[in-house]
Chains A and B, each alone.
Chain A
Amino acid sequence: MKTLITFIISLLFSFFLQKAQANTYLKSNFKTGNPEISSIHKMTFGPEGILFIGDSDAAQIIAVDLSEHPKLDNSKVKLDNIDKLIADMMGTTIDQVQITDMVVNPNNNNIYLSINHSSGIPILLRVEENVLKQVPLDNVSFSKVSLTNPIDKEAKDRRGRSLRKWAIADIKYTDGKLLLSGLSNQEFASTFSAIDFPFNEKQESSSLEIYHAAHGKYETHAPIKTFIPTTVNGTSQIVASYTCTPLVVFPIDKIKQGKHHKGKTVAELGSGNSPVDMIEIASEGNRYLLIANTNRPLMKMDFKDLESFQGELTKPVVKKGAAEGVDYVNLPYVNVQQLDKMGDNGFIIVQRESNGNLALKTGNSWWVK
């Protein structure tokens, strides 16, 4: 009997604990319902199982509470021919679906894939025991914010169709702020924004200038392709990579409304290539930057090298396709299309293998020890 009472008390305690957790400060303005997501282009996880979804079509960011998904061991995940599998689950052909992003919830190792179907209907999938499951988004706990600048003036042509398009390139969360980079179809320009979370009316945008060592001149207009907020020599910095591959560092506190800032170019990773994604992982007291690329293998850069790099690349790279600046090594993973951190020192990728197989799998953490 005593055991039964203890069990019931435990159940009640866990119920109230869950309720309390569901209403933390960060989720205090969340409501339950349909967030009306038009597209999922980029995703990132914040604290407490909050998934941030970058919706370019509706020019909005949606924060969705996914904390209730169970803790998983996805360390052995392997899904082959994932493009065919997803197409079958949508009842269509491979060319009608596209994996737009992949993220891992650091709290419970759930892997999420965002899918764009030709109909434009966005789909979110979750991996559980090597099986893809849909995450319905029509009745979730969420909050969202409209991106003010991209939709200030929604121009129409004479048939009433919109002309303007603003595409989210990357989003990341850090210390109560959601950071995002993007590109519009109006100007080949670099815009970078910081949005307070929990969401309010405050959004600050900066334009960024970098020295493009591969190009040999000031490149004020290149858009940031992917970035991470991190700590460099004890200060909060953004490490960003562009549509070509200079690696640039600039302080987070420089993102001020309407201000123009010049970043410090610390590496040139070779022209003729575009970065896909980057993550930071730690292993045995060391921190590493992993960068996935379109036309180069997965790169590993030691933060110690990044932090000790004193200079700034201001001269053109003379040797064609050469890399300069902070050293890095190429890891034996080519054609990595998606990349995210898994656990403390692992990583997970979606890779087009040499035999054509598109595989979701874990990377070998031996490479980052």
Chain B
Amino acid sequence: MKYTFIFLLILSSDLLSQKKYDFIFTKDKITILNHDDSLEKKLYLYNGEIEEDLITSTTPILGKTFFQEDSLHFTPVVPLGWDRIYTLVYNHSITYFKIPIPKNYKKLSVEEIYPTSSKLPSNILKWYIKFSNPINRNNVYDYFHFINAKGDTLSRAILPLENILINRDKTLVTLWIEPGRQKRKLIPNQLLGSVFTPRENYRIIISKNIKDSNGVSMQKDYIKSFSIIDADRSKPNISQWHIEHPKKESLSPLIIKCYEPLDYGSVLENINISYKNQIIRGTWELSNNERIIQFLPKKKWKLGNYQINFNKTIEDLAGNNLSRLFDNEIDNTEDVNATNQEHILEFSIY
């Protein structure tokens, strides 16, 4: 989204010269209108309010200067920030300016946190935070905290990855709960215990200080409260899932009731439905605290036999997938033998 209508706000100007210039300031470009062709085609932009005697020792902002249609333009390598003071040096004069945040700007907010349930197993492995705007992913772990009922922040609760897991449009962040603490008998688990304790209450807090890609913060902290139940030590079992058949010649949804919350990030792209060996097109959704998988077809259901193919990597909230437990005992060979098993449910429409 571009805000090219932003106009200049000059705080003070012309410390070295009395000549006035017409500027247009936007996040992506600075324009000096009616540039006198006899003047040097250069301008320098600095971060912050730089005093005159410090300018020569200050590193300018990276960008390109070019002349076009009687105007001199400067495009920074990355967009300028809103509500920050910049120092512009042009033709021996200094101009300080700020670009205000547009009044209609939709500020960053948390749209959803997965899992959506407020009762979670103590060995929960992943959280997904969905934001309204693309976020600044730098140092992002500073803004996520788990708090216990006493108000203490849980230490070493989140696995900090150097390269954060965020989707391509930078609106969905994946947080791993420290796997070394969630797996039994591992040293972090023995040293610090599980991150969460059954029958205790917690909150996840996303700090209002997190910023979007335009450098604008949230307006208030986002808080989700949840309570912890016993650990989930069993794999999702599709044979116990219930299919509600859609009606023939309709666009009605296929509904799969799973009876336990599934992991938001691993489900939707790991299922397909085939009809006469052709994958049918449509949209998958999760609902009812991720206990129900729903498929909305693009075309009406035809009579016949259908096959639902589940990828083994579909997980429950504890990271147990269809083939193996996340927290498996060394001598348990059952899972090793199950890794090549296909996971298929069939249904027919008459």
A117 touches B183 (CB 8 A): no
List A contacts of B10 (CB < 8 A): none
**Given A92-B84, A118-B215, A163-B265 in contact, is the A271-B180 Cβ separation under 8 Å?**
yes
Q: Does B313 contact A (CB under 8 A)?
A: yes
**Given A91-B76, A158-B285, A187-B315 in contact, is the A85-B126 Cβ separation under 8 Å?**
no
* B77 interface neighbour in A132, A134, A225, Cβ under 8 Å: A134
Stretch at the interface among B171-179, B231-239, B299-307: B171-179
* A120 interface neighbour in B84, B170, B321, Cβ under 8 Å: B170
Give CA–CA (A347, B326) in the complex, Å: 39
List A contacts of B134 (CB < 8 A): 120
Nearest to A158 among chain B residues (CB) is B285
List B contacts of A89 (CB < 8 A): 47, 59-62
A214 touches B187 (CB 8 A): yes
List A contacts of B269 (CB < 8 A): 153-155, 163-164
Give CA–CA (A95, B176) in the complex, Å: 22
Nearest to A59 among chain B residues (CB) is B168
Q: Does B188 contact A (CB under 8 A)?
A: yes
Q: Does B45 contact A (CB under 8 A)?
A: yes
A244 touches B169 (CB 8 A): no
Give CA–CA (A276, B80) in the complex, Å: 31
B324 to chain A, nearest CB (A): 9
A118 touches B172 (CB 8 A): no
A100 touches B163 (CB 8 A): yes
* A91 interface neighbour in B45, B156, B185, Cβ under 8 Å: B45
**Residues 151-174 (chain A) with a chain B CB within 8 angstroms:** 153-155, 157-158, 161-165, 167-169
Nearest to A223 among chain B residues (CB) is B161
Q: Does A123 contact B (CB under 8 A)?
A: yes
Nearest to A133 among chain B residues (CB) is B62
List B contacts of A9 (CB < 8 A): none
List A contacts of B174 (CB < 8 A): 165, 185
Q: Does A78 contact B (CB under 8 A)?
A: no
B281 to chain A, nearest CB (A): 13
**Given A215-B180, A271-B187, A271-B191 in contact, is the A161-B169 Cβ separation under 8 Å?**
yes
Q: Does A221 contact B (CB under 8 A)?
A: yes
Q: Does A119 contact B (CB under 8 A)?
A: yes
Nearest to A277 among chain B residues (CB) is B162
A88 touches B46 (CB 8 A): yes
List A contacts of B170 (CB < 8 A): 120
Give CA–CA (A186, B319) in the complex, Å: 9
B178 to chain A, nearest CB (A): 10
* B86 interface neighbour in A91, A157, A169, A188, Cβ under 8 Å: A91
Of B164, B186, B264, most A-chain CB atoms within 10 Å: B186
**Given A91-B78, A121-B77, A271-B187 in contact, is the A218-B136 Cβ separation under 8 Å?**
no
B47 touches A91 (CB 8 A): yes
* A183 interface neighbour in B161, B188, B214, Cβ under 8 Å: B161
Q: Does A57 contact B (CB under 8 A)?
A: yes
B327 to chain A, nearest CB (A): 9
Q: Does B257 contact A (CB under 8 A)?
A: no
List A contacts of B60 (CB < 8 A): 89
Give CA–CA (A218, B333) in the complex, Å: 12
List B contacts of A320 (CB < 8 A): 187, 191
B167 touches A165 (CB 8 A): yes
A96 touches B59 (CB 8 A): no
Q: Does A368 contact B (CB under 8 A)?
A: no
Q: Does A108 contact B (CB under 8 A)?
A: no
Q: Mark B205-226, 1 if CB is under 8 A from A, else 0.
A: 0000001111100000000000
Of A97, A120, A216, A225, most B-chain CB atoms within 10 Å: A120
Q: Mark A198-231, 1 if CB is under 8 A from B, else 0.
A: 0000000000000010111110011001000000
Nearest to A90 among chain B residues (CB) is B78
**Given A90-B62, A161-B171, A162-B167 in contact, is the A218-B47 Cβ separation under 8 Å?**
no
Give CA–CA (A167, B137) in the complex, Å: 13
Q: Does B117 contact A (CB under 8 A)?
A: no
Of A100, A221, A317, A320, most B-chain CB atoms within 10 Å: A221
Q: Does A345 contact B (CB under 8 A)?
A: no
Complex A-B, nearest 6 residue pairs according to Cβ-Cβ distance, in ascending order: A155-B269, A118-B136, A185-B174, A98-B138, A215-B186, A167-B163
14 contacts between A and B (CB under 8 A): A38-B168, A85-B59, A91-B76, A100-B162, A116-B138, A118-B136, A118-B212, A120-B213, A167-B163, A188-B125, A215-B186, A215-B187, A272-B156, A320-B187
A-B contact sample (7 more), CB < 8 A, given A38-B168, A184-B165: A89-B60, A89-B62, A95-B138, A119-B214, A162-B167, A163-B167, A217-B183
